[in-house]
């Protein structure tokens, strides 16, 4: 059996001379009490020395992760043929067994054996003095600690927190300085404020122009567009501003220099923040952008602290005051905080912003955990989730319905046949309309019986009634024509008229009894009134004729 032992100077392989002593783990410490006793238990078989400190550091870092370096693998292939190897780390033993096909052992006996070897290391390895081992171990520990600190500095997010804070401060200072330039120079040239809207272009134009009288001679093509330059030169001639001295212009130009220098530094700082975000949190940057991601990290304190938060907290991070105010007043809680400024939420319609912010917060929480705790340094996970969210946004807005027409498994749904299915763009299922008997009005019992009688009567009786009515109308017309003729004959006596009226009433009553329908009563009453009016009109000319005869007599 062999034992692998790591030292600051290199790797050592010891041969176990008496394997029977490994069965008594409690007595192994007594075997290493002296150097001579230790040499009876183990013997140095081979030693691989590190050439420099960088090789030692590389080997130590790989051993910490449970991996074997190239030099260690070559060393083991050369000296471990058909032998079992005792190792201090089970992970390292598994890797050696998989790659080198060497049986490895890790148990309490091996650990106690290594403890004894470490105690008598200077005696077991010839040429390795105590005064040499101490500086090597100290140097290796310092290099290892520096490497760890440097490695973790790549994940340190304090740089992002400071950069985004400084960027916000620069924005405030730039706005303050630019407004001061506009107010200060506006006394001399007030029209320039409306002509040039951008603060940086305004500062450049003021610095180049100085007094407004110089504007006609200068060329602003590098700063302004041709239309804006022409408008500026026209306005400087008819300006209503006051005169200004050289000392005042010098101070205004210095302030313009400050504005321009701050804007340049802000651009440099933004590029720095962009590069740091892409290295430290690439997935978060792909989801919400550099500025929003940096503000989330700054608000959470660090990337690790932010990774501990759920998606619901990430969604309203930055809107704590509104949240607690809503909980206190029992109103609706806010739907978004800092995440509102992400481009995906800006693309969504107002009614879909809440849904998209919830989905974006959930995916952003996963991206943050992947950046903080994952080994990969690429942004593939963030890009995939962003594509999914964009597809969801299109689905909500109804722009892309064909892709989501099938069921969840990708197969189209088979619908049952329906005869009322409408074909076409609408593709809606509508039921056939049926007569609703409950909507009928309530009718009296008498009218019901009359309606039943009408239904039972044959169609021929109705035709006969119509013929009788037509004949009566013809007779009435003939009577009216006779009444309009000149009165040669004597007028009919009143008794005859009364009998005619009675006959008419009886005929109308018979018709009413036969029909019995409440709807026909109104029509027949109208016909009666017409008949009476016609009779009255026929009686009036006869009365006039009688009066004329009396007068002539």
How far is CA 361 from each of CA 312, 313, 345, rounded to the nearest angstrom? Answer: 7, 8, 11
What backbone torsions phi and psi does residue 47 show, to the nearest 5 degrees? Answer: -140, 130
Sorted by sequence, the CB contacts under 8 Å of residue 200 that are 6+ apart come out as: 178, 259, 260, 263
Gap between the Cα atoms of 107 and 389, Å rounded: 52
Q: Are residues 136 and 10 in the same domain?
A: yes
Question: CATH number for the domain including 375?
Answer: 1.10.246.90
Q: How many other C-beta atoms lie within 10 A of the C-beta of residue 178?
A: 20
User: 244, 269, 294 — which closes off a domain?
Assistant: 269
Structure tokens at 480: 């009216």
Are the C-beta atoms of residues 133 and 12 closer than 8 Å to each other? Answer: no
Dihedral of alpha carbons 128, 132, 138, 144, sign: negative
Q: Are residues 257 and 355 in the same domain?
A: no
What backbone torsions phi and psi does residue 81 show, to the nearest 5 degrees? Answer: -95, 120
Q: How many other C-beta atoms lie within 10 A of the C-beta of residue 88?
A: 15
Flag whether 496 is in a domain. Answer: no
Q: Are residues 13 and 132 in the same domain?
A: yes
How far is CA 329 from each of CA 42, 54, 322, 325, 333, rounded to the nearest angstrom? Answer: 78, 64, 10, 6, 10
Q: Are residues 59 and 106 in the same domain?
A: yes
Domain count, the chain: 3
- Looking at the chain, how many residues does it have? 553
Flag whether 183 is in a domain. Answer: yes
Q: Are residues 13 and 146 in the same domain?
A: yes
Gap between the Cα atoms of 283 and 285, Å rounded: 5
Flag whether 232 is in a domain. Answer: yes
Secondary structure (DSSP) of 84-139: -EE-S-HHHHHHHHHHH---EE-SHHHHHHHHHHHHTHHHHSTT--HHHHHHHHHH
Gap between the Cα atoms of 526 and 390, Å rounded: 75
Comparing CA positions, the residue from 343, 353, 319, 345 lying closest to residue 333 is 319
Structure tokens at 541: 């000319």
Flag whether 378 is in a domain. Answer: yes
Q: Are residues 54 and 102 in the same domain?
A: yes
What backbone torsions phi and psi does residue 80 show, to the nearest 5 degrees? Answer: -125, 60
Domain containing 292: what range? 281-401
pLDDT at 406: 44
Flag whether 491 is in a domain. Answer: no
Question: CATH number for the domain including 42?
Answer: 3.30.420.220
Q: Are residues 243 and 304 in the same domain?
A: no
Flag whether 437 is in a domain. Answer: no
Question: CATH number for the domain including 194?
Answer: 1.10.287.4070
Flag whether 264 is in a domain. Answer: yes
Q: Are residues 201 and 286 in the same domain?
A: no
Task: Kindly give the confidence (pLDDT) of every residue in the chain, 553 residues in length, as a single tens digit, with 9 standing for 90 and above.
Answer: 888 888 888 888 888 887 777 777 777 777 788 888 888 888 888 888 888 877 888 888 888 777 888 888 888 888 887 788 888 888 888 888 888 888 888 888 888 888 888 888 777 887 776 667 777 778 878 777 776 655 454 456 888 999 999 999 999 999 999 999 999 999 999 999 999 999 999 999 999 998 888 888 888 888 889 899 999 999 988 888 888 889 999 999 999 999 999 999 999 999 999 999 998 899 999 999 999 999 999 999 889 999 999 999 999 999 999 999 999 999 999 998 999 999 999 999 999 999 999 999 999 999 999 998 887 778 899 999 999 999 999 998 885 444 444 444 444 455 555 555 555 544 444 455 566 666 665 555 455 555 555 544 444 566 677 778 888 887 777 776 666 554 444 444 555 556 666 667 666 656 555 555 444 455 556 667 666 676 666 555 555 555 555 565 5
Are the C-beta atoms of residues 120 and 35 closer than 8 Å to each other? Answer: yes
pLDDT at 319: 92
Gap between the Cα atoms of 205 and 185, Å rounded: 11
Q: Are residues 305 and 375 in the same domain?
A: yes
Are the C-beta atoms of residues 248 and 189 closer than 8 Å to each other? Answer: no
Flag whether 407 is in a domain. Answer: no
Sorted by sequence, the CB contacts under 8 Å of residue 510 that are 6+ apart come out as: none
Sorted by sequence, the CB contacts under 8 Å of residue 427 that are 6+ apart come out as: 421
User: 93, 116, 150 — which closes off a domain?
Assistant: 150
Gap between the Cα atoms of 109 and 118, Å rounded: 14
Gap between the Cα atoms of 91 and 67, Å rounded: 8
Structure tokens at 251: 């101070």
User: 101, 118, 150 — which closes off a domain?
Assistant: 150
Structure tokens at 531: 């008949």
What backbone torsions phi and psi does residue 353 show, to the nearest 5 degrees? Answer: -65, -40
Q: Are residues 200 and 146 in the same domain?
A: no
Q: Are residues 238 and 324 in the same domain?
A: no
Q: Are residues 42 and 138 in the same domain?
A: yes
Comparing CA positions, the residue from 514, 493, 504 lying closest to residue 535 is 504
Are the C-beta atoms of residues 76 and 102 closer than 8 Å to each other? Answer: yes
């Amino acid at each position: 059996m062999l034992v692998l032992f790591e030292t600051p100077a290199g790797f050592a392989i010891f041969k176990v001379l008496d394997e029977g002593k490994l069965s008594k783990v409690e007595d192994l410490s007594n075997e290493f009490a002296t150097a001579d006793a230790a040499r009876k238990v183990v013997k140095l078989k081979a030693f691989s020395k590190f050439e420099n400190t960088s090789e030692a550091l590389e080997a130590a870092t790989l051993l910490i992760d449970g991996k074997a370096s190239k030099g260690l693998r070559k060393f083991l292939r050369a000296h471990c043929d058909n032998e079992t190897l005792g190792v201090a780390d089970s992970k390292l033993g598994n890797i050696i067994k998989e790659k080198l096909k060497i049986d490895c052992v890790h148990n309490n006996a091996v650990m106690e054996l290594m403890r004894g070897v470490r105690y008598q290391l200077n005696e077991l390895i010839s040429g390795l003095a105590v005064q040499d081992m101490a500086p090597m171990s100290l140097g290796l520990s310092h290099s290892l600690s520096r490497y760890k600190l440097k490695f973790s500095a790549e994940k340190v997010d304090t740089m992002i927190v400071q950069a985004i804070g400084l960027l916000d401060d620069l924005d405030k200072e730039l706005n303050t300085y630019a407004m001061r330039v506009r107010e200060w120079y506006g006394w001399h040239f007030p029209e320039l404020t409306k002509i040039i809207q951008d603060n940086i272009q305004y500062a450049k134009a003021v610095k180049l122009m100085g007094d407004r009288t110089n504007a006609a001679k200068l060329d602003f093509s590098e700063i302004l567009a041709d239309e804006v330059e022409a408008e500026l030169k026209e306005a400087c001639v008819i300006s209503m501003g006051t005169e200004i001295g050289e000392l005042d212009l010098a101070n205004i130009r210095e302030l313009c220099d400050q504005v321009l220098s701050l804007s340049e530094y802000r651009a440099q700082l933004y590029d720095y923040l962009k590069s740091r975000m892409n290295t430290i949190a690439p997935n978060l940057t792909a989801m919400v952008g550099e500025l929003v991601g940096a503000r989330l990290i700054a608000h959470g304190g660090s990337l690790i602290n932010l990774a501990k938060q759920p998606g619901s907290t990430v969604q309203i991070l930055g809107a704590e005051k509104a949240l607690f105010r809503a909980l206190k007043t029992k109103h609706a809680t806010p739907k978004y905080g800092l995440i509102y400024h992400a481009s995906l939420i800006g693309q969504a319609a107002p009614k879909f912003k809440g849904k998209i912010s919830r989905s974006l917060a959930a995916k952003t929480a996963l991206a943050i955990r992947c950046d903080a705790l994952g080994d990969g340094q690429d942004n593939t996970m963030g890009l995939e989730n962003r594509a999914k969210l964009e597809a969801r946004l299109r689905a909500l807005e109804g722009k892309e319905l064909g892709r989501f027409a099938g069921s969840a498994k990708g197969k189209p749904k088979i619908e049952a046949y329906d005869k009322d299915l409408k074909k076409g763009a609408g593709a809606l299922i509508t039921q056939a309309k049926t007569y609703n008997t409950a909507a009928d009005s309530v009718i009296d019992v008498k009218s019901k019986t009359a309606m039943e009688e009408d239904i039972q009567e044959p169609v021929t009786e109705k035709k006969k009634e119509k013929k009788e009515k037509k004949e009566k109308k013809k007779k009435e017309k003939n009577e009216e024509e006779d009444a309009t003729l000149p009165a040669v004959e004597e007028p009919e006596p009143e008794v005859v008229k009364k009998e005619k009226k009675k006959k008419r009433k009886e005929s109308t009553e018979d018709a009413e009894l036969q029909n019995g329908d409440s709807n026909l009563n109104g029509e027949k009453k109208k016909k009666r009134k017409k008949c009476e009016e016609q009779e009255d009109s026929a009686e009036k000319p006869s009365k006039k004729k009688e009066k004329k005869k009396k007068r002539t007599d």
